[in-house]
A = this chain, B = another copy of it.
Amino acid sequence: MTHKVLLLPGDGIGPEIAAQAARLLKACQEAGLDIEVEEGLVGGSAYDVHGEPLPAETLEKAKAASAILLGAVGGPKWDKLEDLSKRPEKGLLGLRKNLGLFGNLRPAMLYPQLASASSLKSELVAGLDIMIVRELTGGIYFGQPRGIEERNGERVGFNTYIYSESEIERIGRVAFEMAQKRGKKLCSVDKANVLEVTILWREVMERLAPEYPDVELSHMYVDNAAMQLVRAPKQFDVVVTGNMFGDILSDAAAMLTGSIGMLPSASLNESGQGMYEPCHGSAPDIAGQNVANPLAMMLSVAMMLRYSLNETAMAERIEAAVGSVLDNGLRTADIASEGTRRVSTVEMGDAVLAAF
Protein backbone atom coordinates (compact mmCIF):
# COMPACT_ATOMS: atom_id res chain seq x y z
CA MET A 1 0.00 0.00 0.00
CA THR A 2 1.26 3.44 -0.99
CA HIS A 3 1.81 5.75 1.98
CA LYS A 4 0.80 9.34 1.58
CA VAL A 5 3.30 11.83 2.98
CA LEU A 6 2.31 15.46 3.28
CA LEU A 7 5.16 17.98 3.23
CA LEU A 8 4.36 21.37 4.82
CA PRO A 9 7.35 23.70 4.43
CA GLY A 10 5.83 26.57 6.44
CA ASP A 11 7.67 29.83 7.13
CA GLY A 12 11.16 31.25 7.61
CA ILE A 13 13.80 28.64 6.96
CA GLY A 14 11.01 26.05 6.60
CA PRO A 15 10.98 25.99 2.79
CA GLU A 16 14.77 25.68 2.54
CA ILE A 17 15.06 22.74 4.88
CA ALA A 18 11.88 21.16 3.49
CA ALA A 19 13.49 21.23 0.05
CA GLN A 20 16.29 19.02 1.36
CA ALA A 21 13.74 16.68 2.95
CA ALA A 22 11.94 16.50 -0.39
CA ARG A 23 15.14 15.43 -2.13
CA LEU A 24 15.67 12.79 0.54
CA LEU A 25 12.12 11.49 0.11
CA LYS A 26 12.75 11.16 -3.60
CA ALA A 27 15.92 9.21 -2.90
CA CYS A 28 13.93 6.92 -0.60
CA GLN A 29 11.41 6.35 -3.38
CA GLU A 30 14.20 5.46 -5.76
CA ALA A 31 15.48 3.06 -3.13
CA GLY A 32 12.10 1.31 -3.18
CA LEU A 33 10.00 3.14 -0.60
CA ASP A 34 6.37 3.16 -1.68
CA ILE A 35 5.24 6.71 -0.87
CA GLU A 36 3.39 9.49 -2.58
CA VAL A 37 4.47 13.01 -1.57
CA GLU A 38 2.14 16.00 -1.61
CA GLU A 39 2.80 19.56 -0.48
CA GLY A 40 0.61 22.06 1.35
CA LEU A 41 0.56 25.47 2.99
CA VAL A 42 0.51 26.14 6.71
CA GLY A 43 1.38 29.02 9.03
CA GLY A 44 2.12 32.53 7.87
CA SER A 45 2.65 31.48 4.29
CA ALA A 46 -0.86 29.94 4.30
CA TYR A 47 -2.27 33.09 5.89
CA ASP A 48 -0.72 35.21 3.15
CA VAL A 49 -2.48 33.17 0.47
CA HIS A 50 -5.72 32.05 2.12
CA GLY A 51 -6.14 34.39 5.10
CA GLU A 52 -5.96 31.33 7.38
CA PRO A 53 -2.93 29.67 9.01
CA LEU A 54 -4.57 26.28 8.51
CA PRO A 55 -6.62 26.26 5.29
CA ALA A 56 -9.33 23.58 5.00
CA GLU A 57 -7.49 22.09 2.05
CA THR A 58 -4.33 21.56 4.10
CA LEU A 59 -6.29 20.00 6.94
CA GLU A 60 -8.00 17.61 4.51
CA LYS A 61 -4.68 16.56 3.02
CA ALA A 62 -3.25 16.12 6.51
CA LYS A 63 -6.11 13.87 7.57
CA ALA A 64 -5.63 11.72 4.49
CA ALA A 65 -1.88 11.36 4.97
CA SER A 66 -0.06 8.57 6.79
CA ALA A 67 2.48 11.11 7.98
CA ILE A 68 3.19 14.81 7.81
CA LEU A 69 6.55 16.49 7.59
CA LEU A 70 6.50 20.07 8.79
CA GLY A 71 9.30 22.62 8.47
CA ALA A 72 8.51 25.43 10.91
CA VAL A 73 5.99 28.22 11.31
CA GLY A 74 5.99 31.83 12.50
CA GLY A 75 7.90 35.04 12.05
CA PRO A 76 7.86 38.75 12.89
CA LYS A 77 5.84 39.47 9.77
CA TRP A 78 2.76 37.96 11.43
CA ASP A 79 3.49 38.78 15.09
CA LYS A 80 1.42 41.91 14.97
CA LEU A 81 -1.75 40.15 13.85
CA GLU A 82 -4.33 41.30 16.38
CA ASP A 83 -6.44 38.20 15.94
CA LEU A 84 -4.58 35.38 17.67
CA SER A 85 -6.57 32.83 15.66
CA LYS A 86 -4.86 34.01 12.48
CA ARG A 87 -1.31 33.70 13.73
CA PRO A 88 0.99 31.12 12.11
CA GLU A 89 1.26 29.21 15.40
CA LYS A 90 -2.45 28.46 15.21
CA GLY A 91 -1.78 26.50 12.05
CA LEU A 92 0.52 24.22 13.97
CA LEU A 93 -1.77 24.04 17.00
CA GLY A 94 -4.73 23.35 14.72
CA LEU A 95 -2.96 20.42 13.08
CA ARG A 96 -2.03 18.97 16.47
CA LYS A 97 -5.55 19.32 17.81
CA ASN A 98 -7.51 18.25 14.72
CA LEU A 99 -5.39 15.17 14.16
CA GLY A 100 -5.30 14.33 17.88
CA LEU A 101 -1.49 14.30 17.93
CA PHE A 102 -1.29 14.12 21.71
CA GLY A 103 2.04 12.32 22.05
CA ASN A 104 5.03 14.54 21.37
CA LEU A 105 8.41 12.81 21.42
CA ARG A 106 11.34 15.19 21.71
CA PRO A 107 14.69 13.49 21.92
CA ALA A 108 17.65 15.49 23.19
CA MET A 109 20.72 13.56 22.26
CA LEU A 110 24.25 14.64 21.75
CA TYR A 111 26.00 13.60 18.57
CA PRO A 112 29.50 12.56 19.64
CA GLN A 113 30.88 14.49 16.66
CA LEU A 114 29.35 17.67 18.07
CA ALA A 115 30.26 17.24 21.73
CA SER A 116 32.07 20.58 21.86
CA ALA A 117 29.01 22.48 20.64
CA SER A 118 27.30 22.22 24.02
CA SER A 119 27.51 25.18 26.37
CA LEU A 120 27.90 22.66 29.19
CA LYS A 121 31.18 21.10 30.21
CA SER A 122 31.74 18.07 28.01
CA GLU A 123 31.87 15.51 30.81
CA LEU A 124 28.35 16.55 31.86
CA VAL A 125 26.83 15.97 28.43
CA ALA A 126 28.95 13.26 26.80
CA GLY A 127 26.57 10.49 25.78
CA LEU A 128 23.48 12.55 26.65
CA ASP A 129 20.30 10.85 25.48
CA ILE A 130 17.02 12.09 26.95
CA MET A 131 13.54 11.52 25.56
CA ILE A 132 10.99 14.12 26.56
CA VAL A 133 7.40 12.96 26.16
CA ARG A 134 5.19 16.02 26.08
CA GLU A 135 1.39 16.02 26.08
CA LEU A 136 0.46 18.05 23.03
CA THR A 137 -3.30 18.46 22.63
CA GLY A 138 -4.40 19.49 26.11
CA GLY A 139 -3.34 21.52 29.12
CA ILE A 140 -3.20 25.28 29.12
CA TYR A 141 -2.67 25.44 25.35
CA PHE A 142 -6.26 24.44 24.71
CA GLY A 143 -8.07 24.89 28.05
CA GLN A 144 -11.33 26.84 28.24
CA PRO A 145 -12.28 29.46 29.36
CA ARG A 146 -9.60 31.74 27.92
CA GLY A 147 -9.46 35.31 26.72
CA ILE A 148 -9.08 38.95 27.66
CA GLU A 149 -12.05 40.76 29.12
CA GLU A 150 -13.12 43.66 31.31
CA ARG A 151 -13.65 42.91 35.01
CA ASN A 152 -14.03 45.51 37.77
CA GLY A 153 -13.08 48.35 35.52
CA GLU A 154 -9.91 46.89 34.06
CA ARG A 155 -8.94 44.18 31.64
CA VAL A 156 -7.82 40.76 32.77
CA GLY A 157 -6.24 38.04 30.67
CA PHE A 158 -6.85 34.40 31.58
CA ASN A 159 -6.17 30.85 30.46
CA THR A 160 -7.12 27.49 31.91
CA TYR A 161 -4.68 24.72 32.70
CA ILE A 162 -6.81 21.58 32.64
CA TYR A 163 -6.31 17.83 32.24
CA SER A 164 -8.71 14.94 32.59
CA GLU A 165 -7.69 11.57 33.97
CA SER A 166 -8.02 9.94 30.56
CA GLU A 167 -5.79 12.54 28.91
CA ILE A 168 -3.14 11.98 31.55
CA GLU A 169 -3.41 8.22 31.35
CA ARG A 170 -3.03 8.25 27.57
CA ILE A 171 0.21 10.22 27.57
CA GLY A 172 1.41 8.33 30.64
CA ARG A 173 1.15 5.05 28.76
CA VAL A 174 3.17 6.44 25.84
CA ALA A 175 5.87 7.48 28.28
CA PHE A 176 5.94 4.23 30.25
CA GLU A 177 6.18 2.25 27.01
CA MET A 178 8.95 4.50 25.78
CA ALA A 179 10.82 3.96 29.06
CA GLN A 180 10.42 0.19 28.66
CA LYS A 181 12.15 0.42 25.27
CA ARG A 182 14.94 2.60 26.66
CA GLY A 183 16.66 2.92 30.04
CA LYS A 184 13.57 1.97 32.12
CA LYS A 185 13.54 5.21 34.06
CA LEU A 186 10.62 7.62 33.85
CA CYS A 187 10.56 11.02 35.52
CA SER A 188 7.17 12.73 35.63
CA VAL A 189 7.40 16.51 35.97
CA ASP A 190 4.68 18.52 37.70
CA LYS A 191 4.08 21.31 40.20
CA ALA A 192 1.99 19.23 42.59
CA ASN A 193 2.94 21.41 45.56
CA VAL A 194 0.98 24.29 44.06
CA LEU A 195 -1.28 23.25 41.17
CA GLU A 196 -4.27 20.95 41.60
CA VAL A 197 -4.20 19.92 37.95
CA THR A 198 -0.75 18.43 38.50
CA ILE A 199 -1.82 16.70 41.70
CA LEU A 200 -4.18 14.72 39.50
CA TRP A 201 -1.35 14.26 36.99
CA ARG A 202 0.91 12.76 39.64
CA GLU A 203 -1.86 10.54 40.98
CA VAL A 204 -2.59 9.05 37.56
CA MET A 205 1.12 8.41 36.90
CA GLU A 206 1.31 6.60 40.25
CA ARG A 207 -1.74 4.54 39.38
CA LEU A 208 -0.20 3.42 36.07
CA ALA A 209 3.17 2.50 37.57
CA PRO A 210 2.28 -1.03 38.79
CA GLU A 211 1.36 -1.98 35.20
CA TYR A 212 4.96 -1.25 34.18
CA PRO A 213 6.91 -2.94 36.99
CA ASP A 214 10.15 -2.83 35.02
CA VAL A 215 10.04 0.98 34.86
CA GLU A 216 11.25 3.07 37.77
CA LEU A 217 8.92 6.06 38.14
CA SER A 218 10.00 9.25 39.89
CA HIS A 219 8.43 12.70 40.25
CA MET A 220 10.06 16.09 40.09
CA TYR A 221 8.75 19.63 40.46
CA VAL A 222 9.16 21.63 37.27
CA ASP A 223 11.44 24.25 38.85
CA ASN A 224 13.73 21.53 40.09
CA ALA A 225 13.60 19.77 36.71
CA ALA A 226 14.79 22.97 35.01
CA MET A 227 17.68 23.09 37.49
CA GLN A 228 18.58 19.43 37.19
CA LEU A 229 18.67 19.67 33.40
CA VAL A 230 21.31 22.37 33.74
CA ARG A 231 23.17 20.69 36.60
CA ALA A 232 23.29 17.03 35.64
CA PRO A 233 21.23 16.22 32.55
CA LYS A 234 22.44 12.65 32.27
CA GLN A 235 20.35 11.67 35.29
CA PHE A 236 17.31 11.61 32.97
CA ASP A 237 16.14 8.86 30.64
CA VAL A 238 12.47 9.48 29.75
CA VAL A 239 10.68 12.58 31.03
CA VAL A 240 6.89 12.95 30.81
CA THR A 241 5.06 16.22 31.34
CA GLY A 242 2.20 18.44 30.21
CA ASN A 243 2.03 20.74 27.22
CA MET A 244 3.40 23.97 28.76
CA PHE A 245 6.13 22.48 30.95
CA GLY A 246 7.05 20.22 28.05
CA ASP A 247 7.44 23.21 25.76
CA ILE A 248 9.90 24.84 28.16
CA LEU A 249 11.84 21.78 29.29
CA SER A 250 12.18 20.21 25.86
CA ASP A 251 13.69 23.39 24.48
CA ALA A 252 16.10 23.67 27.39
CA ALA A 253 17.04 20.01 26.99
CA ALA A 254 17.52 20.38 23.24
CA MET A 255 19.76 23.39 23.80
CA LEU A 256 21.94 21.40 26.20
CA THR A 257 23.17 19.47 23.21
CA GLY A 258 24.35 22.73 21.66
CA SER A 259 22.93 21.61 18.37
CA ILE A 260 19.20 22.08 18.27
CA GLY A 261 19.60 22.20 14.49
CA MET A 262 20.11 18.43 14.68
CA LEU A 263 17.02 17.37 16.60
CA PRO A 264 13.85 15.97 15.04
CA SER A 265 10.57 15.40 16.87
CA ALA A 266 7.45 13.32 16.42
CA SER A 267 3.84 14.01 17.33
CA LEU A 268 1.67 10.91 17.26
CA ASN A 269 -2.01 10.12 17.60
CA GLU A 270 -3.78 6.97 18.80
CA SER A 271 -3.57 5.31 15.41
CA GLY A 272 0.14 5.92 14.91
CA GLN A 273 -0.38 8.69 12.37
CA GLY A 274 2.28 11.27 12.99
CA MET A 275 3.61 14.71 12.29
CA TYR A 276 7.39 15.09 12.19
CA GLU A 277 9.28 18.33 12.54
CA PRO A 278 12.57 19.79 13.68
CA CYS A 279 12.75 20.95 17.32
CA HIS A 280 14.08 24.29 16.15
CA GLY A 281 11.87 27.13 14.97
CA SER A 282 11.50 29.09 11.76
CA ALA A 283 14.60 31.27 12.40
CA PRO A 284 13.40 34.25 10.35
CA ASP A 285 16.72 36.03 10.92
CA ILE A 286 18.57 33.58 8.67
CA ALA A 287 15.74 32.67 6.28
CA GLY A 288 16.50 32.71 2.56
CA GLN A 289 20.27 32.75 3.04
CA ASN A 290 21.00 29.08 2.37
CA VAL A 291 22.74 28.75 5.73
CA ALA A 292 20.13 26.88 7.84
CA ASN A 293 20.92 23.39 9.05
CA PRO A 294 18.69 20.89 7.19
CA LEU A 295 19.71 17.91 9.33
CA ALA A 296 16.91 18.08 11.93
CA MET A 297 14.47 18.10 9.02
CA MET A 298 16.19 15.22 7.26
CA LEU A 299 16.32 13.29 10.53
CA SER A 300 12.59 13.98 10.88
CA VAL A 301 12.19 11.93 7.72
CA ALA A 302 14.05 9.11 9.46
CA MET A 303 11.85 9.43 12.53
CA MET A 304 8.77 9.30 10.31
CA LEU A 305 10.00 6.13 8.62
CA ARG A 306 10.54 4.53 12.00
CA TYR A 307 7.39 5.57 13.87
CA SER A 308 4.68 5.94 11.22
CA LEU A 309 5.80 3.87 8.23
CA ASN A 310 7.56 1.07 10.07
CA GLU A 311 10.55 1.30 7.72
CA THR A 312 13.33 0.88 10.26
CA ALA A 313 16.02 -0.13 7.80
CA MET A 314 15.50 2.94 5.65
CA ALA A 315 15.47 5.15 8.77
CA GLU A 316 18.79 3.70 9.81
CA ARG A 317 20.24 4.39 6.39
CA ILE A 318 19.39 8.07 6.75
CA GLU A 319 20.81 8.26 10.25
CA ALA A 320 23.99 6.56 9.12
CA ALA A 321 24.30 8.99 6.21
CA VAL A 322 24.01 11.94 8.59
CA GLY A 323 26.58 10.36 10.90
CA SER A 324 29.08 9.90 8.09
CA VAL A 325 28.63 13.48 6.89
CA LEU A 326 29.42 14.67 10.41
CA ASP A 327 32.37 12.28 10.57
CA ASN A 328 33.65 13.90 7.41
CA GLY A 329 33.67 17.26 9.17
CA LEU A 330 30.87 19.00 7.26
CA ARG A 331 29.04 21.60 9.34
CA THR A 332 26.42 24.27 8.75
CA ALA A 333 27.04 27.59 10.51
CA ASP A 334 25.07 26.72 13.67
CA ILE A 335 27.30 23.75 14.49
CA ALA A 336 30.56 24.96 12.96
CA SER A 337 33.73 24.70 15.01
CA GLU A 338 37.44 24.92 14.38
CA GLY A 339 38.84 22.39 11.99
CA THR A 340 35.53 21.59 10.31
CA ARG A 341 34.29 22.54 6.84
CA ARG A 342 31.48 25.03 6.70
CA VAL A 343 28.74 24.22 4.21
CA SER A 344 25.44 25.70 3.10
CA THR A 345 21.96 24.22 3.47
CA VAL A 346 22.04 22.79 -0.04
CA GLU A 347 25.60 21.49 0.27
CA MET A 348 24.64 19.69 3.47
CA GLY A 349 21.67 18.19 1.65
CA ASP A 350 23.98 17.13 -1.21
CA ALA A 351 26.34 15.45 1.23
CA VAL A 352 23.62 13.47 3.01
CA LEU A 353 22.19 12.33 -0.31
CA ALA A 354 25.61 11.28 -1.54
CA ALA A 355 26.14 9.24 1.64
CA PHE A 356 22.64 7.72 1.60
Contact = CB atoms under 8 A, between A and B. Distances in A.
Interface of A: 74, 79, 84, 87, 89, 93, 119-121, 124, 140-141, 143, 146-148, 151-152, 154-166, 191, 193-201, 222-224, 226-227, 229-232, 244-245, 247-252, 254-256, 258, 260, 281
B140 A195 contact: yes
A68 to B, nearest CB: 20
B227 A226 contact: no
Tally of this chain's copies: 2
Given A120-B121, A140-B161, A156-B165, 10 more contacts: A79-B193, A84-B199, A119-B120, A143-B158, A157-B201, A158-B161, A159-B161, A159-B195, A226-B248, A226-B252
Q: Which 6 pairs across A and B sit closest by C-beta, in order of nearness?
A: A157-B200, A157-B197, A158-B162, A227-B255, A226-B252, A223-B251
A231 to B, nearest CB: 5
29 contacts: A79-B193, A89-B194, A119-B120, A120-B121, A120-B230, A121-B121, A141-B194, A155-B164, A155-B200, A156-B162, A156-B163, A156-B200, A157-B163, A157-B196, A157-B200, A158-B163, A158-B196, A159-B161, A159-B162, A159-B197, A160-B161, A161-B161, A191-B244, A224-B281, A226-B248, A226-B249, A227-B251, A227-B255, A229-B252
